[in-house]
């Protein structure tokens, strides 16, 4: 078949196409543990509209998710549950630690609150108490950049 302007075609590498598809359809797992969850829930509202980035389908099933957003303080009793949910997610998978409590324990400097990077491989940290929905969207954009590049590295998503 002869190539003409009337029959356009696209060539790409399979890996590039797969990374593009993954970056364009991120499905977060609902993992709201405390006050940061309200900020996380607001990213699907018309004010922020994370659907324009392909990340609006929050799932309650870990088997249908590829991004875990741990938002809020993590109690010792929740660690095995969160680990089990993370293990049930299909590969490749990513983790955002949202808020000071999830990232470092925050104001709860005691035995009962655990930073999530002690038991999960965190890809992006979102600082703040609570962080803004804009900061979470920025973190999702950083995850998208990591997926598109085909790499995983820890990033601190500053206050956007």
pLDDT below 50 — which residues of the chain?
1, 153-154, 159-160
71 near 140, Cβ under 8 Å?
A: no
| Class (C level, CATH) for 25-156 | alpha beta
pLDDT for residue 36 = 83
Q: What is the pTM of this model?
A: 0.81
In 3D space, the residue among 119, 136, 16, 139 whose CA is nearest the CA of residue 74 turns out to be: 119
pLDDT for residue 154 = 47
Domain positions in the chain are: 25-156
In 3D space, the residue among 44, 104, 39, 32 whose CA is nearest the CA of residue 69 turns out to be: 32
């Amino acid at each position: 078949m002869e190539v003409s302007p009337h029959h356009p075609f696209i060539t790409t590498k399979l890996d590039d196409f797969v990374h593009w598809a993954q970056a364009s359809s991120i499905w977060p797992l609902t993992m709201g543990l405390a006050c940061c969850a309200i900020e996380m829930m607001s990213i699907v509202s018309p004010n922020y509209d994370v659907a324009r980035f392909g990340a609006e389908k929050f799932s309650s099933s870990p088997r249908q998710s590829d991004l875990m957003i741990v938002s809020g303080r993590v109690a010792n009793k929740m660690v095995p549950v969160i680990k089990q949910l993370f293990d049930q997610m299909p590969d490749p998978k990513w983790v955002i630690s949202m808020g000071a409590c999830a990232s470092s324990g925050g104001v709860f400097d005691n035995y009962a609150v655990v930073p999530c990077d002690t038991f999960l491989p965190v890809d992006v940290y979102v600082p703040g108490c609570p962080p803004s929905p804009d900061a979470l969207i920025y973190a999702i954009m950083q995850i998208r950049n990591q997926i598109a590049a085909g790499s995983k590295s820890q990033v601190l998503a500053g206050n956007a």
